[in-house]
């Protein structure tokens, strides 16, 4: 984490958590009474998005700590729960939706492990399974080298039996987690892509081979694993590339330890396109056969999606028939023509994921619907 400017909210108490993060970052913190100072610093920069990636604001989450994932009703969604622990990212993927999502984008760390614990304790008391992730508005593990948060979460989730924590990343920052007593309630998950796409579109992220070696280390430490092919990008030779990545996953880790693999082709809100064109002049990711989807995002023309999905799913099933594979935000036809089934009913995909979670993790089967 290369932070050049560090702001801290005056209302944050100086405790072990805050002292830890400050001790790991070079710049002296500037105490602010209002987030306006942070916003102005970012907005006045020549490249606000790049500046935001080097400016950390330690503050408190004043909204909901735990919330449902905002999937769209037009596509099958997986009933995921988001733990809102921070925003934005220090890595720089051309396609990152967060560039267009926050105005301005701000790299925020939400201090307050006590508050987080209280919110989680309420969820731990419920009689149902929750799949909870921190990787929706940030990368879950960019924080590991500088904060106590990932360790705290793994420890906290280890002592209950109805919630799975998924830490999703493109980094290899897992060292402080390896020795923890996780009770198999934390899934370490990697977003994966072809080496070509990682090189051209995922600036600052770990290479594919480094990610897979980290997954191997996590497996040796007893963690359940997950992999997310998102976004799958269509380019000449992509099918060969993605099939190679699939084979590589299975030469590194045992399919029995994989809780799920998700696949989703590249899709984007139209307002992301000018940002990509301006910030990533060599990127061709937005140019292809796209059509607007039901959620107003641009998606590859369906026959293109279908073809790459069919190739990828059949390769996964050939090597590891029991690994649960699902699509992120896809429709009936894609499911039906690729998987031969469609999770039609409300909550059906969520139930299937819960079952896979219960099979691989330390969750109690009695919470299954």
Catalog residues that contact ligand SF4 under the rule CB under 6 A: 89, 91-93, 96, 98, 139, 170, 205
What residues have CB less than 8 Å from 224, skipping those under 6 apart? 184, 186, 187, 188, 257, 258, 259, 360, 361
Of 92 and 161, the one with the shorter C-beta distance to ligand SF4 is 92
- Would you say the C-alpha torsion 330, 331, 332, 338 has a positive or negative sign? negative
Of 100 and 323, the one with the shorter C-beta distance to ligand SF4 is 100
User: Least Å distance between CB 98 and ligand SF4?
Assistant: 5
Of 106 and 363, the one with the shorter C-beta distance to ligand SF4 is 106
Q: Measure the CA–CA gap between 141 and 138, rounded to whole angstroms.
A: 9
Of 91 and 210, the one with the shorter C-beta distance to ligand SF4 is 91
* DSSP secondary structure string for all residues of 147-160: -SHHHHHHHHHHT-
Pick from 115, 167, 175, 185: which is nearest to 145 by CA?
Answer: 175
325-327/258-265 β-pairing: parallel
Pick from 131, 190, 127: which is nearest to 353 by CA?
Answer: 131
In three-state secondary structure terms, 145 is coil
Q: Measure the CA–CA gap between 190 and 35, rounded to whole angstroms.
A: 32
User: Least Å distance between CB 169 and ligand SF4?
Assistant: 8
User: Least Å distance between CB 134 and ligand SF4?
Assistant: 11
Of 211 and 299, the one with the shorter C-beta distance to ligand SF4 is 211
Peptide bond into 104 cis (omega under 30): yes
- Cα-atom radius of gyration of the chain, to the nearest Å? 20
- The first and second tokens of residue 11, run together, are 């209302």
User: Least Å distance between CB 206 and ligand SF4?
Assistant: 10
Q: Measure the CA–CA gap between 353 and 2, rounded to whole angstroms.
A: 36
User: Least Å distance between CB 251 and ligand SF4?
Assistant: 24
Pick from 331, 334, 291, 329: which is nearest to 312 by CA?
Answer: 334
Of 36 and 199, the one with the shorter C-beta distance to ligand SF4 is 199
User: Least Å distance between CB 319 and ligand SF4?
Assistant: 27
Of 18 and 197, the one with the shorter C-beta distance to ligand SF4 is 197
- The first and second tokens of residue 119, run together, are 């919110």
User: Least Å distance between CB 208 and ligand SF4?
Assistant: 14
Of 45 and 91, the one with the shorter C-beta distance to ligand SF4 is 91
β-sheet bridge partners, residue 292? 298
User: Least Å distance between CB 2 and ligand SF4?
Assistant: 14
């Amino acid at each position: 984490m290369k932070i050049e400017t560090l702001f801290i909210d005056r209302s944050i108490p100086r405790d072990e958590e805050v002292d830890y993060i400050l001790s790991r970052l070079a710049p002296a913190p500037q105490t602010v009474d209002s987030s306006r100072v942070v916003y102005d610093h970012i907005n006045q920069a020549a490249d606000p998005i790049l500046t935001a990636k080097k400016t950390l604001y330690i503050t408190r989450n004043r909204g909901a700590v735990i919330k449902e994932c905002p999937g769209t009703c037009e596509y099958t969604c997986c009933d995921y729960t988001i733990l809102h622990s921070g925003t934005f990212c220090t890595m720089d993927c051309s396609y990152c939706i967060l560039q267009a999502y926050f105005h301005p984008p701000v790299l925020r760390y939400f201090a307050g492990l006590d508050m987080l614990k209280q919110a989680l304790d309420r969820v731990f008391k419920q009689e149902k399974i929750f799949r909870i992730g921190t990787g929706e508005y940030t990368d879950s593990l960019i924080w590991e080298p500088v904060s106590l948060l990932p360790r705290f979460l793994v420890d906290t989730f280890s002592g209950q039996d109805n919630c799975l924590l998924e830490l999703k990343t493109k980094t290899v920052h897992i060292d402080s987690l390896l020795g923890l007593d996780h009770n198999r309630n934390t899934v370490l998950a990697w977003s994966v892509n072809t080496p070509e796409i990682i090189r051209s579109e995922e600036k600052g992220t770990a290479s594919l081979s480094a990610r897979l070696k980290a997954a191997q280390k996590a497996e040796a430490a007893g963690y359940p694993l997950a992999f997310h092919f998102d976004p799958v990008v269509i380019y000449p030779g992509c099918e060969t590339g993605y099939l190679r990545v699939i084979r590589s996953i299975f030469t590194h880790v045992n399919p029995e330890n994989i809780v799920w693999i998700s696949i989703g082709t590249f899709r984007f809100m139209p307002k992301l396109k000018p940002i990509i064109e301006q910030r990533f002049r060599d990127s061709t990711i937005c140019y292809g056969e796209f059509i607007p989807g039901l959620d107003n995002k641009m998606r590859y023309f369906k026959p293109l999606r279908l073809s790459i999905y069919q190739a990828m799913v059949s390769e996964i099933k050939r090597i590891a028939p029991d690994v649960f594979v699902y699509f992120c935000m896809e429709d009936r036809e894609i499911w039906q023509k690729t998987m031969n089934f469609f999770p039609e009913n409300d909550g059906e995909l969520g139930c299937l994921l819960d079952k896979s979670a219960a099979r691989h993790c330390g969750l109690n089967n009695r919470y299954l619907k």
